[in-house]
Each structure stands twice: as C-alpha cells, then as structure tokens.
Amino acid sequence: MKVTMVHDQQLRWALFFGLLLSLGIAGCDDESDVQGAVDTDSSDVSDTGAGDAERDVADDVDAPDIADTPDVADTPDVADTLDAADTPDVADTLDAADTADGQDIADVSDVSDAADAADAADTSDAADAADLSDATETSDGADIVDASDVADAGATPLQFEMYLDDQNVLNMRTNLSAFPQSCVADTIEVSCEDLDQDGITDAWEQLVLERFVPLLRFDESEQLINDDAAVLHAVGRVAPLATALFRADVYIMLGYSRDYGSCLGISSHNGDSERVALRLVDLEGADGRHLRIEQAYTAAHEGSVTDNGVVFSGESLSELVYDITADVTGTRWVVFPAADKHATHATIERCESVSVIPCVDEDCAPDGVDDPGNYDRIPGVVNAGEDAHRLFDDLTGIGFPGDFAWTEDEFCGGLGGSSCSSAVREKLLDNPFE
C-alpha cells in the first residue's frame, strides 16, 4: 500500500512536470512565432522601402529630398535600402527628362550618404547632362547655352572661313547659326544669347563684325601713325532684314580721336566718326552660315557738300580691294582713309580723283616707303546692340571717355570740346542702301 502511494505520487509529479514542460514549450513556440512575424515585417519594410522611395520620386518629382525625410534619418537600414547598387533605377528616376518642374538634378547629391563613391560619380555625370538640356532662358524667351555646359558635353569649336569667290566678292562660311535655337542645337563653343533682342545671337553678330571690319590702309603722311595719344576703334551694329533669303545689314563706325584737318590743320577738330556699311546675304537662304557681300558702302565726307560716299552692288562689287595676308584668319576687306581727314574710300583711285584743288584734294595709301605694312591698321570693334536693348553705350572702355554710342551728342573722340563730329548713333542707324 505504501509502495502504491509512493508510485501514485511520483506519477502525479511526473504528469505535473510534463504538463508544465508542455506548457513552456508551447509558450516558446508562440514567442518564436511572434519574433518571426516581427522579423518578417522588418524584412518586408526593408525590401519595400526602396521600391516605395522609387515610386514616390517617379510619381511626384516635387517630393522632398530623400536625405531630408525625417523617417529616413531614423531608419538605420536606409543606407542598404537606397544603395544605388541595390536600386539601379534611382538614377533613371531622377533623370532630367523626368524632372518636369526643372528641379536641379544636383539634388541627387543628397543621396550621397546612402550611395557609394562610384554611384555618386554617375550622378554627377547625370547632373552635367541635366544642365545641358536645361538651357537658360532670356527675357525674350530665347534659349541659350552656357559655354561651360557646352564644353562639358564636348562642344564643337567655332569655325569660319573668309574667301573670295570667282567674282572677287568676299564670302564667309561658318558653323555658327545666326539664330539662337539653332545655335543651342549645334552646341558650338559660344554663348547663344540674344541680349539685344533682335532675333539673332550676339556671338554671331560679333563674329560678323570682327571678320568684316575692314583693314585701314593709311597714307604715308597720316599723322595718326606717329601720334602716341591717338585712339582708333570701331563701334558696330548688325541688323537682320525681313526678307525671303536671310539678310543682315552691318554698320561699322570707324572712330578716330582726332581729325587732323588739311592744309596745316585747317578744319581740324576733336573726334572723327567715319563709317562703312555692308549688306550680307546667305546664299543658301538658311541661317547665316554662308554669307556673301551683296552691297557695300564707303562714307566720305558724309552729309556734306563734298559727300563722296559710294554704294557698290552687282558688278561694281568687283572694285573692292582685299588683302589675304592682313592676318591669319583669312581674306580681309581693305579701305583707304584720306590722309588726316579720314574720309573712307574703296580704292586709291577713287580717293585721289576727288579733287585736284590744293587743300581739297586727298591722298591715300603709302607711297615710296620701305614697309607699307606699317601703315595698316585693323581696328578693334564692339557690338553696340540695338537702341532699345543696348549692349555697349559708354565708349570710355574703348578709349573715348565722355562719348556714347546711343546718345545724340557729337562724337569728340574722348577729348571733349565742341564742334566735333557726327553722333555715333547716326552712323549705326542711317541706312545707305535705301
């Protein structure tokens, strides 16, 4: 009986501990299940976090930067989630083409804490591409490309060629279009701005002015040659015409600090504003890439009783004189300023046939000198733009302080005084071809 009771008691204890053991195991299984559920949810969040980030950026490019999102900063695993190596579509998501509101692609750098160095380099390349596609817009709506952006994209160097055709007329070929839109598309290494808002790029205008400004071949008696204080500089304007073929008028004021007068200084005065003008036509009718002189004008005592200005067109264009050794950039137009008075003539013969009367007659070009090249000058030229949108007005910067391109004041060559020369604006606006 005693043995039976002990056995029964042992059996009860065994059953009791067995029950406890079974309950403990069940509890551990439940905890494991919960932990597993937690792990599964964390994994799901980690796996879907990048996808959600991608969808948010793709669906709404105005979303705040990833690095600025508070939840991201509190999530320790976000670096793994947003690593570009694990998320190959992040760069595509932030491509400039998808950035409808013009957000700078450089904001991708905010992800740099979560991306490795190689991915950051790729993002930088994408930023350059975005800068190139996002052309700056001028006040008139014309697209321009910054020169540094063009250089990043492997821009084409500016090219031009000056040459005479079989009719002895000067031509220019260039890869630079006159129009801002074409200039942007061509990605030439220039700015495509049109700050004077005349419909053609300022860079094209400057190219035309620099290539068509004439070489001045002075007489051996010209006092400017040995006057260390003398200033010679040109001011230009290029104006497109509304014609079927592309045409542009080019006005170039040839500015001298002094008119030395004739007959021992009689009629001398401060400042001397002479000029030439050209009408250019695009032979291909397109956008100013192939220009030919259609008409030329040389002013000589313009507006006076002894006005000897001449317009050349058609067959008479063959009279114009050119120099192919004047500089390294090709053929250049040559004109002949009268000694000391600077009336501009197209040929020596025209200059010296003006008059045979002493003190009225004119001399041009160097005679009997050892080095005729010492009497050649190619003036620098600035683009004045348009009166309503001036690119250059105050002429102090080119050696004529106190003078302006667009006022109606007389031009005094930076020397002041009165009874000077005609206003520069007249030389830029008066059309000799009409």
Domain layout of the chain by residue ranges:
1-134, 160-429
At a CB cut-off of 8 Å and minimum separation 6, what does 329 contact?
Answer: 160, 162, 211
How far, in Å, CA of 276 to CA of 250, rounded? 8
Q: Is 326 helix (H, G, I), strand (E, B) or coil?
A: coil
Number of neighbours of residue 380 by Cβ within 10 angstroms = 13
Helix (H) or strand (E) segment spanning residue 119 = helix 117-133
Extract the tokens encoding 3.
């043995």
pLDDT at 204: 98
Residue reference for tokens 């074409």:
182
CB 340 within 8 A of CB 260: yes
Task: Give me the residue label for tokens 């604006």.
Answer: 425
- What sign for the dihedral angle of Cα 40, 42, 47, 49? positive
Q: What is the pLDDT along the chain (434 residues), one digit of tens a residue?
A: 444 444 455 445 455 555 554 444 444 444 444 344 334 343 343 343 333 333 333 333 343 343 343 343 343 343 333 343 333 333 333 333 333 333 333 333 333 343 333 343 343 333 333 333 333 333 333 333 333 343 445 789 999 999 999 999 999 999 999 999 999 998 899 999 999 999 999 999 999 999 999 999 999 999 999 999 999 999 999 999 988 899 999 999 999 999 999 887 788 999 999 999 999 999 887 899 999 999 999 999 998 888 999 999 999 999 999 998 767 778 999 999 999 999 999 999 999 998 878 887 899 999 999 999 999 999 999 999 999 999 999 999 999 999 999 999 999 999 999 999 999 999 999 999 99
pLDDT for 226: 97
* Best CA proximity match to 322, nearest among 299, 343, 347, 351: 347
- Residue 291 CA, chain-centre distance (Å), reads 21
Q: Tokens representing 156?
A: 């084409």
Across-strand partners of 347?
A: none
Q: Which pLDDT does position 151 carry in this prediction?
A: 41
**Contact call for residues 63 and 56 (beta carbons, < 8 A):** yes
pLDDT at 18: 54
Q: How far apart are the first and last CA of the chain?
A: 144
- Residue in this structure with the two tokens 């969808």, named with its chain if needed: 55
Q: What is the 3-state secondary structure (H, E, C) of 258-283?
A: EECCECCCECCEEEEEEEEEEEEEEC
- CA 269 to chain CA mean position, Å: 40
Closest CA to 360 of 369, 352, 348: 352
C-alpha to C-alpha distance for 237 and 251, rounded to whole angstroms: 5
Bridge partner list, 336 = 345
DSSP state of 287: S
Phi-psi region of 87 (alpha: psi -120 to 50; beta: other; left: phi over 0): beta
Helix, strand and coil in the chain, % to nearest 5: 35, 20, 40
